[in-house]
Amino acid sequence: MSPGIELKAANLDQIQKVLTPHVAGFRTRLTCMPGPLTGATGTPTRGLGHDFHLLAVGQGLSWLGSTFQPIALAVAILGSGRSVSMLGILLAVLVAAQMLWTLVGGVLADRFEARLVMITADLTRAAAVGGMAMAFATDHTSLLLLGGLMVVMGTGSAFFGPAMRAVKPIVVAPDQRKSANSLLSALSTGSDVVGPVLAGVLVGLIGAPFGFAVNAVSFLASAVAVSLIRVRVVRHKTTTGRSFRSDLVVGWQTVRSNDWLVWGIFSAAVLHIATGVLVVVVQVVAFRELGGAHALGLIAAAQGVGGVVGSLLAMRLRPRRPLMVGYLTLCAMPLWISSYVWSSELLVVMSMAALGFLGMIYFNIQWETAIQDHVPHDMMARVSSWDILTSFIGMPIGYALAGLLTDRFGLNSILLGGAVVLLFAGMFPLVARGTRTLEARPTVQAPTVVSQEAA
């Protein structure tokens, strides 16, 4: 929680603004990750296709519904007079479960049909969040019960993320990957902007159990949409006799064999730790010096606009060396962070926020497309699980360090130092030859797929 912002049960707007970065933070690296559809004959299809549209609709509803959960949780806990510590414990339990099971989820999604893993994870999350709705509606809200439900929720999310990355490369043609990534990124960014506002209004009017129920229904909608996807991967390798440990080791060896992956994942870890610190600090500065909750809302809206523009640019621009260009666009993030120091004008900070998120989303799309183009599909979920894990680890560490570092060095020093760290995190992967030379063309064979009707 940002220092200097007092949370009161009746002040729903401040609760919403404080928790919004947590929603975006947990999903920073999960917002833009599709891949290839060849039809049953192996020939590329035109357009994005029926299966992609199903995935996009299901995920759009799930992303929108997921923005209700943290708002509902904050209102349910703080609005009933329970402590901020209880809220912090529950959020920590959620993240811990995600960290614990993400690598397991990657192995399972590569071993079995990833689509079924997604459906199971969605149903699991729907049951957990539905249980939260029932618990608060009936006032059965012991820490043990709520903590258990958060463990189930986090485990489902840990399994869902890698499986989703394994499904997306089979629902669009290889030449449509970047367009699909861009559209999904715009959809996710739009959900992050609209969702918290809508959740704040509806949860405030109807109550926290309603917010949990919306999230549960959104997970069910996602499960139904994924179940209707027709395309299937034809598996040529058997998993008989392979241990979990050996599968996990092979996944890490795939990461290590590509210098652009090693440097990129390490860069992501540094970037997420720094971002965890900075999203707290910038809210303090915006709240105290730029206009309070009103400024927080406008800056968040500017970030959303920048993210959508970044998605559209990624759809239109096709650089020959996408990772090199993508890392260069990350230089916009330090400009945004440092603007809190060198400008006291809200409009300037909003402009820099839009530019910063434009660069970040543009990079994310290049990164996800590179993984789809250059990582074998039977390794996709395991490689992705290592990538996803850096987000889950980095952001909470940053949140925990924010208060300590601010008390020690002051707001301006943290902002300037954070800007330098972001610049470093965006630039040092360029020392890897693979990052500089990776080209925008697939180097691995697309998986063999068939439609359900042809299976």
The pLDDT tens digits of the residues spanning 381-421 come to 999 999 888 877 888 888 888 888 888 898 899 999 999 99
Q: Which CATH homologous superfamily contains domain 12-234+244-447?
A: MFS general substrate transporter like domains (1.20.1250.20)
Parse the chain into domains and list their residue ranges.
12-234+244-447
Reply yes or no on whether the pLDDT at 242 is more than 80: no
In tens, the pLDDT along 164-196 reads 998 888 888 888 888 898 999 999 988 888 888
DSSP 448: P
Residue for token pair 């063999």: 448
Reply yes or no on whether the pLDDT at 89 is more than 90: no
Within 10 Å of residue 372's Cβ, how many Cβ atoms? 27
Instruction: Output the pLDDT for position 12.
Output: 43
In tens, the pLDDT along 251-271 reads 899 999 999 999 999 999 999
Instruction: Output the pLDDT for position 452.
Output: 63
DSSP 378: G
CB 112 within 8 A of CB 42: no
Amino acid (1-letter code) at residue 424: F
The listed range with the strongest mean pLDDT (7-11, 21-25, 50-54) is: 50-54
Sign of CA dihedral 203, 205, 210, 214: negative
3-class state of residue 233 by DSSP:
strand
Instruction: Output the pLDDT for position 240.
Output: 55
- In this prediction, residue 447 has a pLDDT band, given cuts at 50, 70 and 90, of low
User: Could you give the CA distance from residue 188 to residue 191 in angstroms, rounded to a whole number?
Assistant: 5
- In this prediction, residue 133 has a pLDDT band, given cuts at 50, 70 and 90, of very high
Which has the higher per-residue pLDDT, 253 or 445? 253
CB-facing half-sphere around the CA of 145: CA atoms within 13 A: 13
- In this prediction, residue 296 has a pLDDT band, given cuts at 50, 70 and 90, of confident
Q: Which percentage of the chain shows pLDDT scores above 90? A: 47
In tens, the pLDDT along 144-168 reads 999 999 999 999 999 999 999 988 8
Instruction: Output the pLDDT for position 37.
Output: 35
User: Could you give the CA distance from residue 211 to residue 215 in angstroms, rounded to a whole number?
Assistant: 6
Instruction: Output the pLDDT for position 206.
Output: 92
Residue for token pair 């958060």: 150
Instruction: Output the pLDDT for position 47.
Output: 62
pTM for the predicted model, two decimal places = 0.82
Instruction: Output the pLDDT for position 297.
Output: 80
User: Strands 449-450, 232-233: parallel, antiparallel or unpaired by DSSP?
Assistant: antiparallel
Q: Of 8-12, 243-247, 404-408, 440-444, where does mean pLDDT reach its minimum?
A: 8-12
Within 10 Å of residue 104's Cβ, how many Cβ atoms? 16
Q: Of 36-45, 60-69, 202-211, 429-438, where does mean pLDDT reach its minimum?
A: 36-45
Within 10 Å of residue 81's Cβ, how many Cβ atoms? 7
Q: Of 55-64, 221-230, 242-251, 350-359, where does mean pLDDT reach its minimum?
A: 242-251
Classify 83 in phi/psi space as left (phi over 0), alpha (psi -120 to 50) or beta. Answer: beta
- Residue 42's closest CA among 226, 236, 168, 173? 173
CB-facing half-sphere around the CA of 84: CA atoms within 13 A: 11
Q: Which percentage of the chain shows pLDDT scores above 70? A: 86
Residue for token pair 């199971």: 120
Q: Of 18-27, 52-61, 366-375, where does mean pLDDT reach its minimum?
A: 18-27
User: Could you give the CA distance from residue 196 to residue 188 in angstroms, rounded to a whole number?
Assistant: 13
DSSP assignment of 381-436: HHHHHHHHHHHHHHHHHHHHHHHHHHHHH-HHHHHHHHHHHHHHHHHGGGGSHHHH
- The encoded tokens of residue 84 equal 């901020």
Return the exposure string of 432-442: e unless at least 16 CB atoms fall within 10 Å of the residue's CB, then b.
bebbeebebeb
Instruction: Output the pLDDT for position 449.
Output: 64
Mean pLDDT of the chain: 83
User: Could you give the CA distance from residue 31 to residue 134 in angstroms, rounded to a whole number?
Assistant: 30
